Homo-oligomer: A and B are copies of this chain.
Amino acid sequence: MTVTIRDVARASGVHVSTVSRTFSAPHMVNAATRTRVLTVAEELGYRPNRAARALTTGRTHNLGLIVADIANPFFPPLIKAAHAAARQRDYHLFVADTDEEPAAEEELVQAFSKQVDGVVLCSPRSSNKALERLAERVPFVVINRRLRGAATVLMDVGHGARLAVEHLAGLGHRRVALVAGPAGSWTSAEIRAAAEQVPDVELTVIGPNAPTERGGFAAAGRVRDAGVTGALAYNDLVAIGLIEGLGDLGLTVPADVSVVGIDDIVSGRLNRPKLTTVAMPTAAAGRLAVDLLIQEVSATTSLETRLVVRDSTAPPR
């Protein structure tokens, strides 16, 4: 039914090992033999069985990609870029979603472990200790988390957050709210640490919040009560929700309060007012992560972020 290496061998009058070699080590086989085998294989419609190959070589040519929430618009560009990079080197990509559940990260890595050559873990929520334990099971690259012993791709969100707060300060804002992300998020901690270092700005931290529109919407009341004129949100979704929530409370953006987001997702650009935000190099991160994984290099990389000023920020009145 399914045509194997043996069928090809028989049909082309050579031993299976020769057929095997024409596919996995072509230079070891005579040119004439090789083309004969190749044409026979083509005729028969032979495709190497990756599972069988994986069994002997131990390499599956598969990669795993684990994200918190596929439907969060931050991730799809990253997934897309990772997929493209993997495809280019003839790797396939498992994609998995933890639904923001820390425990699911461990479970998924376990489940993947025998089936992939490595996994990239995006914005993990598990503890460093848990991650280090996992790193023993399977090669690993982490995006947006600093972790010793594993390759790391960081987006320099701290720098972006600082730019954002400086931007607000430059406009004349002195009291700024930081609408934080979920607990356990390295990114959220990083943002906070950077934001706190901006001089002449009094920062009020509000959170943790769900990293969603809803989370931002729910935080609107506390932002108003904090008596601030500007806000930096954990991400664009939160910022958009916040703007809507503030609107419901009778405050308009940017007239009454300036809001800046982080991520630069499409919806932010489409939002009214258009969102001032920190652009994150998600595609670059995805691409880089799989490259690191495939080449088995263990490095720590930090990617640049930048501030995109649009219409949701203005001087306080």
Chain A residues at the B interface, C-beta cutoff of 8 Å: 2, 47-52, 54-55, 60, 62, 69-71, 73, 75-77, 79-80, 83-84, 87, 92-97, 99, 110-115, 213, 240, 266-267, 270-272
Contact = CB atoms under 8 A, between A and B. Distances in A.
B55 A51 contact: yes
A93 B77 CA distance: 18
A110 B270 contact: no
A23 to B, nearest CB: 13
Nearest to A115: B50
A83 B96 contact: yes
B95 A95 contact: yes
Contacts of A51: 51-52, 54-55, 60, 114-115
Given A47-B110, A114-B50, A87 B96 contact: yes
Given A51-B51, A114-B47, A267-B266, A93 B92 contact: no
B115 A73 contact: no
Contact of A83 (B47, B73, B95, B240): B95
Contacts of A71: 76-77, 80
Nearest to A236: B270
A285 to B, nearest CB: 14
A247 to B, nearest CB: 11
Task: Among A49, A71, A73, A240, find the residue whose CB has the most chain B CB atoms closer than 10 A.
Answer: A71
**Max chain B C-beta neighbours (<10 A), residue from A48, A99, A270:** A270
Contact of A95 (B50, B79, B84, B240): B79
A253 B116 CA distance: 50
Contacts of A112: 92
Given A47-B110, A115-B51, A270-B267, A97 B70 contact: no
A99 B270 CA distance: 23
A266 B75 CA distance: 15
B60 A69 contact: no
Contacts of A111: 92
Contacts of A80: 69-71, 97
Contact of A55 (B52, B69, B114): B52
Nearest to A90: B111
A311 to B, nearest CB: 11
Nearest to A70: B80
A80 B99 CA distance: 9
A50 B69 CA distance: 26
Q: Which 4 A-B pairs have the closest CB atoms?
A: A272-B272, A95-B95, A70-B80, A51-B54
A161 to B, nearest CB: 23
Contacts of A84: 97, 99
Contacts of A93: 94-96
26 contacts: A2-B114, A47-B110, A47-B114, A49-B55, A50-B114, A51-B51, A62-B115, A71-B76, A71-B77, A71-B80, A73-B73, A83-B95, A83-B97, A84-B97, A87-B96, A92-B96, A92-B111, A93-B94, A93-B96, A95-B95, A213-B266, A213-B270, A240-B270, A267-B267, A267-B270, A271-B272
